Amino acid sequence: MSMSSSSDGLSPDTTPSIVVPDAPSLRTDASPVAASHTPAPVTRAAAPGGVPDPAPAAETPLPGRPLPRVIAVANQKGGVGKTTTTVNLGACLAELGFRTLVIDLDPQGNASTGLGIENRGLDTSMYHVIMHDVPLEDCVEPSAVKNLFVAPASLDLAGAEIELVPAFSRENRLRRAIESVLDDYDYVLIDCPPSLGLLTVNGLNAATEVLVPIQCEYYALEGLGQLLRNVDLVKRNLNPRLEVSTIVCVMYDARTKLADQVVHEVREHFGEKVCRTVVPRTVRLSEAPSFGQPIITFDPTSRGAVAYREVAKEVSRGSTRRSG
Tally Cβ neighbours within 10 Å of residue 49: 12
pLDDT at 21: 54
Structurally, the chain folds into a number of domains equal to 1
The answer to whether position 307 is within a domain reads yes
Phi, psi of 61 (to 5 degrees): -65, 150
pLDDT at 20: 54
Q: Does the pLDDT at position 304 exceed 80?
A: yes
The answer to whether position 47 is within a domain reads no
pLDDT single digits (tens) 60-113: 445 668 899 999 999 888 888 899 999 999 999 999 999 999 999 999 999 999
pLDDT single digits (tens) 230-252: 899 999 999 999 999 999 999 99
pLDDT single digits (tens) 30-67: 433 333 333 444 444 444 445 565 554 444 445 668 89
Q: Does the pLDDT at position 17 exceed 60?
A: no
C-alpha to C-alpha distances, 23 to 80, 192, 194, nearest whole angstrom:
19, 20, 19
Q: Which amino acid is at 266?
A: V
Q: What is the SS3 assignment for 65?
A: strand
The answer to whether position 115 is within a domain reads yes
pTM: 0.81
The answer to whether position 53 is within a domain reads no
Q: Does the pLDDT at position 271 exceed 60?
A: yes
The answer to whether position 56 is within a domain reads no
Q: Which domain holds residue 307?
A: 65-319
CA distance 287 to 302: 12
The answer to whether position 1 is within a domain reads no
Q: At 141, is the pLDDT very low, low, confident or very high (cuts 50, 70, 90)?
A: very high
Mean pLDDT score of the chain, rounded to an integer? 82
pLDDT at 28: 43
Q: Does the pLDDT at position 151 exceed 60?
A: yes
For residue 203, what is the domain's CATH number?
3.40.50.300
pLDDT at 160: 86
Q: Does the pLDDT at position 13 exceed 50?
A: no
Q: At 223, is the pLDDT very low, low, confident or very high (cuts 50, 70, 90)?
A: confident
Q: Does the pLDDT at position 321 exceed 70?
A: no
pLDDT at 51: 56
CA distance 249 to 212: 9
Q: Which amino acid is at 231?
A: V
Q: Does the pLDDT at position 166 exceed 70?
A: yes
Q: What is the mean pLDDT of residues 253-282?
A: 91
C-alpha to C-alpha distances, 253 to 62, 122, 204, 294, nearest whole angstrom:
29, 38, 30, 21
The answer to whether position 19 is within a domain reads no
Per mean pLDDT, which range of 6-10, 116-120, 298-302 is the poorest? 6-10
The answer to whether position 2 is within a domain reads no
Q: What is the mean pLDDT of residues 131-140?
A: 94
pLDDT at 323: 46
Q: Are 76 and 196 in contact (CB under 8 A)?
A: yes
